Amino acid sequence: MITAHSLNVAKFIIQKAKSPVSNLKLQKLLYYVQGWHLGIYGEPVFSQPIQAWIHGPVVPYVFGKFKEYKWISIPPDPTTVVLTQNLETHVVKVLNAYQHLTAAQLEAISHKEAPWLEARKGLAPTQASTAEITHASMKRYFGRKLNG
C-alpha cells in the first residue's frame, strides 16, 4: 500500500535531518527509505520511480523539484509535512542510520548495492540512464540485509 508521495517524504527528510541535505544526498535518502520499507514491510512508501543515474539512485520527480539547489543545502519547507506515524518512525530510523554520511559517501555505498548495479547492468560508469531500480530488486536486497 502506497502511504505517501515522494515529494512529501523528501520535505519531511529535509525538515528532520540534523545535517544539511543537498539534492544528491536527498535522492540517496529517499532510496534508502523506499528500500528499507520494501525489505522490512514488503510494500513501497511511494509510487514514483527510482532510476539508476550516474551518481546513484534518483527519484526524477523530486530531483526536478529541487534541481535549482544543485550541490547546496535545500532549505526546509516552512509548512509542516504530515506523514502517518508509522512512516514518520520509519523515515527517522533511516535518517538516524544514514544522515551522518555525506552525499558522496551515500553515492559510493549505493554504487556497490545490487539494486543500482542490476539496473545499470551493461552500462558504462559515465553513461546516462533512466533504467528503473525495481521494487522487486530493492525488496530482495534489503530483505536479505535485514535477515543476515
CA dist 59 and 146 (Å) reads 23
Nearest to residue 138, comparing CAs of 33, 29, 13, 48?
Answer: 33
106-141 pLDDT, tens digit each? 999 999 999 999 999 999 999 999 999 999 999 999
pLDDT score, position 1: 65
Q: In this predicted structure, what is the pLDDT of residue 93?
A: 98
17: nearest Cα among 91, 90, 110: 91
pLDDT of 75 reads 96
Q: Is the pLDDT of residue 4 over 70?
A: yes
Per-residue pLDDT tens digits for 13-68 = 999 999 999 999 999 999 999 999 999 999 999 999 999 999 999 999 999 999 99
The contacts of residue 146 (CB under 8 Å, 6+ apart) are 36, 39, 40
Partners of 52 in beta bridges: 57
**pLDDT in the model for residue 147:** 83
pLDDT at 119: 98
pLDDT of residue 71: 87
